[in-house]
Amino acid sequence: MKRSRERAASELFAAVYPRLAGWCRRLVDDDETAHEIASEAFTRLWARWTKVTEPRGFLYVTAANLVRDHWRKLERERRAVRRVTNEEALRPPTEQTDPSVRLLVQSLPERLRVPILLHYYADMPIHEVSVLTGRKEGTIKADLHAARELLRAHLRRSLDHTL
Q: What's the chain look like in SS3?
A: CHHHHHHHHHHHHHHHHHHHHHHHHHHHCCHHHHHHHHHHHHHHHHHCCCCCCCHHHHHHHHHHHHHHHHHHHHHHHHHHHHHHHHHHHHCCCCCCCCCCHHHHHHHCCHHHHHHHHHHHHCCCCHHHHHHHHCCCHHHHHHHHHHHHHHHHHHHHHHHHHHC
- Give the whole-angstrom CA distance, residue 95 versus residue 110: 26
What is the location of CATH 1.10.10.10 in the chain? 87-163
**Span 6-64, pLDDT tens digits:** 888 899 999 999 999 999 998 888 999 999 999 999 999 999 988 998 898 889 989 98
Give the model confidence (pLDDT) of 109-119 as tens digits.
Answer: 888 887 887 78
How far out from the chain centre does Cα 140 lie?
A: 10
Confidence band (pLDDT; 50, 70, 90) for 133? confident
pLDDT(123) > 90: no
Query: What φ, ψ does residue 99 adopt, rounded to 5°?
Result: -80, 0
- Name the more confident of 158 and 109: 109
Give me the mean pLDDT over the 129-154 stretch. 89
Q: Give the range with max mean pLDDT: 3-17, 25-39, 126-140, 143-157.
A: 25-39
Better-scored residue on pLDDT, 105 or 48: 48
Instruction: Provide CATH code, domain 87-163.
Output: 1.10.10.10
More confident residue, 70 or 161: 70
Structure confidence at residue 95 (pLDDT): 42
User: Between these two residues, 145 and 104, which has the higher pLDDT value?
Assistant: 145
Separation of alpha carbons 58 and 64, rounded Å? 10
pLDDT category of residue 141 using cuts at 50, 70 and 90: very high
- What does the pLDDT look like over 70-103, one tens digit per residue? 988 888 888 777 776 776 555 554 444 444 676 7
Of the candidates 90, 97, 131, the one whose C-alpha atom is nearest the C-alpha of residue 114 is 131
Q: What is the mean pLDDT of residues 117-129?
A: 78
Instruction: Determine how many CB atoms are found less than 10 A away from the CB of residue 58.
Output: 18
